[in-house]
Amino acid sequence: MTDAIRRSGLPCRFWETTPLNRMSQNEWEALCDGCGKCCLNKLEDADTGEVALTRIACRLFDDGTCRCAHYEMRQVIVKNCIKLSIGNLEQNLYWLPSTCAYKLLFEGRPLFDWHPLISGKRDSVHAAGVSMQNRTIPEYEICEDDWEDYIIEEPI
């Protein structure tokens, strides 16, 4: 058991034994690896439905910590912010990054070794080069018509 898990009071490797729909709020929140990819603006191709990530982050995204600057109030401040839950997970899978723990577990796949729940280190996601830490541009700096110029390959 990692120190981080022990301090959190969460059961060791709970994600392997607890189905997503039976997780407590603390367990659900702990699945987030802190990569910041869900806070990136995405472009969806109207013909194919394919979703592309951009380097353009939500105005609330803190590029240094890869966290929302106003997490508890995010849906009030950003009207189209999606609060991921077991009730809306399946309909949102298409835009979640391929490394997302929620998506991986929903699809019956294991977490990556760099995931903080596996490594026991909160910044292992950054050390692995998987996060968007120090890689984004705030959405208010780029005209929406130019977002296509900022499409990126997902860091994995």
Q: How many Cα atoms are found within 13 Å in the side-chain-facing hemisphere of 154?
A: 18
Q: Quick one: pLDDT at residue 8?
A: 67
- Contact assessment for residue 74 and residue 68, using Cβ atoms and an 8 Å cutoff: yes
pLDDT at 123: 94
DSSP element (H, E) containing 105:
helix 101-106
pLDDT, one tens digit for every residue, the chain (156 residues)? 444 445 568 999 999 999 999 999 999 999 999 999 999 999 999 999 999 999 999 999 999 999 999 999 999 899 999 999 999 999 999 999 999 999 999 999 999 999 999 999 999 999 999 999 999 999 999 999 999 999 998 765
CA distance 101 to 148: 27
For residue 9, the model assigns a pLDDT of 83
> For residue 154, what pLDDT is reported?
77
